[in-house]
Amino acid sequence: MHEADFVVIGSGSAGSAMAYRLSEDGKHSVIVIEYGGTDYGPLIQMPSALSIPLNMPLYDWGFSSEPEPHLGGRVLATPRGKVLGGSSSINGMVYVRGHARDFDHWAEEGAAGWSYADVLPYFKRMEHSHGGEQGWRGTSGPLHVQRGKRANPLYAAFIEAGQQAGFELTADYNGSKQEGFGPMEQTIHRGRRWSTANAYLRPALKRRNVSLVSGFARKVIIENQRATGIEIEVRGQIQLVKARREVIVAASSINSPKILMLSGIGPARHLHHNGIAIVADRPGVGANLQDHLELYIQQESTKPITLNSVLNPISKALIGAQWLLFKSGLGATNHFEAAAFLRSAAGIDYPDIQYHFIPAAVRYDGKAVANTHGFQAHVGPMRSRSRGSVTLRSPDAWDKPVIRFNYMSHPDDWTEFRHCIRLTREIFAQAAFDPYRGSEISPGGHVQTDEDLDAFIRDHAESALHPCGTCRMGRADDPMSVVDPECRVIGVEGLRVADSSIFPRITNGNLNAPSIMTGEKAADHILGRAPLPPSNQEPWINPRWQQSDR
């Protein structure tokens, strides 16, 4: 039987950070349970190969949504990492902290101690920023964050077009000022994907007090309302991993609620229906599921300078060879090198639209959509009011859960998405793109009316792969809270959840950075340490926010 002071389920963004911090002083033993295998090899470590591991059964749990009623019954893939480093090993390597107001909202919703002033010191502690805004960024943490070279002139055209359309510029959207157009940040270091496996887990595993156990986590063992360990399955054999002090679930916004429910923590009626003995009736487990949806707006390029020229097998082989030998070239970037965070209307005080820009017209799976040179902006609203759920399909731990996002179920979603499409067209119509702009590939110039745009959204909106919120953090007396502000599961001793599932509301942008921050901050709570002193730095808010969207 394996035994440690702390047992962490999941080696992903939060789990790896906790393994590193909980073991740092050498006083406590830590076991990390991970079902997935190694992250070695170019498919994961080479940044430009990012579309490949995303849907490989070797690295991905293979989840998908139920048919989405507001998207014409489409089933959307919901990849989650099943590999060392979790989803940080299969994600797009885009680094976004989130906006200061996101975390202030968490605190207002009952997550006391998680306001921007409280979390900023943890973002600084975890970062090693290369080129970020001085005073706002960490420079000695385990997580290396860089900007791409932006060698392709289309990146500069996108940023210049934003300025020509009247929007702000920002030199560092992870610094004092998120709003505006500017360079995009990447978790890439020396040409390699800088996942939490590379940043945190490998250094932690060099310590004598940390071990990795390979197994499938079936449920938390709870005795007299106290978590005492984890039941895992290894090659068909059931084993027990014992926790002397605490069990910490960091298994993703899909698997964390599933594990809690299989352990008897969740909505009583749902557990009863599945024949599971109720340990704690927490109706919030599996509720509050949120995600970001996005569209690709694609434009033909009149100049043959886009990545479409290297999508052929020979070019890919040359790029791969250069990366393998030197960790440089087009293989050493995720190609997301320009970004924007904008407000959709006057009266909105901080950005609610995100852009990723790439100098190619391709889908997430890496296939070209047209036999032409092109460029595209990925765009989507950040704060949808639509909410979904994760529930058990059966009491069998191996059964995939039922995932219902209810995408586009709120009428505002449609208004916001139409605005995103029209705004992107306005940006692409600016003079900065005059030397490059051909005809619109997608949606296509003929798609103009609200009805046409809605049909396009219904058929083509894709998940940005940012699920969260299913074990919501809040006040202990709130019946929909699953964990309190110290990440303790309400109603069970010795059990915590710390990953993107505890987010009360989705943050602005990609979720890897706030997930790592959650692991960093949770580690201090678990160790009973005083949190890092709050920051007194004030983020930039557009002085014209009440009058204008720009």
Tell me whether residue 93 is annotated as binding. yes
Tell me whether residue 390 is annotated as binding. no
Tell me whether residue 75 is annotated as binding. no
Tell me whether residue 51 is annotated as binding. no
Instruction: Report which secondary-structure segment, H or E, holds 514.
Output: helix 512-526
**CA dist., res. 235 & res. 233, Å (int):** 7
C-alpha closest to that of 423 among 341, 344, 339:
344
Tell me whether residue 409 is annotated as binding. no
**CA dist., res. 389 & res. 258, Å (int):** 11
Tell me whether residue 87 is annotated as binding. no
CB atoms within 10 A of CB 211: 16
Active site residue 292: no
DSSP state of 298: E
CB 353 within 8 A of CB 381: yes
342: three-class secondary structure by DSSP? strand
**CA dist., res. 377 & res. 373, Å (int):** 14
Tell me whether residue 402 is annotated as binding. no
Q: What are the tokens at 282?
A: 């927490």
One of 130, 410, 466, 525 is an active-site residue; which one? 466
Tell me whether residue 180 is annotated as binding. no
Residue length, the chain? 550
Tell me whether residue 50 is annotated as binding. no
Tell me whether residue 126 is annotated as binding. no
Tell me whether residue 522 is annotated as binding. no
Tell me whether residue 29 is annotated as binding. yes
Tell me whether residue 469 is annotated as binding. no
Tell me whether residue 310 is annotated as binding. no
**CA dist., res. 243 & res. 230, Å (int):** 8
Tell me whether residue 19 is annotated as binding. yes
**CA dist., res. 79 & res. 471, Å (int):** 19
**CA dist., res. 449 & res. 443, Å (int):** 12
Tell me whether residue 209 is annotated as binding. no
CB 135 within 8 A of CB 172: no
CB atoms within 10 A of CB 138: 19
C-alpha closest to that of 339 among 226, 230, 223, 185:
185
Strand bridging mode 280-281 / 265-266: parallel
Please state the residue numbers annotated as binding site: 5-34, 83, 91-94
Please state the residue numbers annotated as binding site for FAD: 5-34, 83, 91-94
Tell me which residues are annotated as active site.
Answer: 466
